[in-house]
Amino acid sequence: MSDKRYHYQLTPIGIRYTIQDAIPETAYQVVRAFAWVGGAVCILAVGVLGPLALVGAGGMAFLAFGMTNFSSQIRNKYIYFVDTYKVNILRKRDVFSLDSVPLEYHVFGTVYCEKGKMDETLNRILPYLKNYTIKEIKSYRDL
């Protein structure tokens, strides 16, 4: 799995964040270039060998033309603030999770902080939560 870039925005009703793969744009350009070359080779094979070349090269052609628009995607996610939360803190990794009680979709999530800024981030978020309990955990498994 590639590294991810997280960008958070705190609002009075919740946290909006985006997730993007931390892969340089040049890697996507290389894949797109190989896809165009692969598509051209497949068309050339059909021209030289006839339609029977599509038996083997057809899959490659569909794959190549599908990857010509290959690019980084940004996914938008949300954590909405509700009444009761469990806040699990993993201090050694500067990460904490917000879990609603009872657990519901769009009201739980994990927040990754810059090194040494977890307490500052928690102090900004906790005033928006009406009722919460804080628990120190020892591993990612407990998140």
| Domain extent at residue 50 | 25-66
Q: Domain tally for the chain?
A: 2
68-127 per-position pLDDT tens digit: 777 778 889 888 888 888 999 999 888 998 888 877 777 788 888 888 899 999 999 999
21-54 per-position pLDDT tens digit: 887 878 878 888 887 887 787 778 778 877 777 7
Cβ atoms within 10 A of the Cβ of 117, count?
10
In angstroms, the Cα distances linking 97 to 23, 37, 44, 55, 132 are: 25, 45, 53, 50, 12
| Cα 39 versus chain centre, distance | 29
**Is residue 141 in a domain?**
no
Count Cβ neighbours within 10 Å for each residue of 59-68 and write b for 16 or more, e otherwise. Answer: ebbeebeebe
Q: Same domain, yes or no, for 10 and 78?
A: yes
Q: Same domain, yes or no, for 62 and 124?
A: no
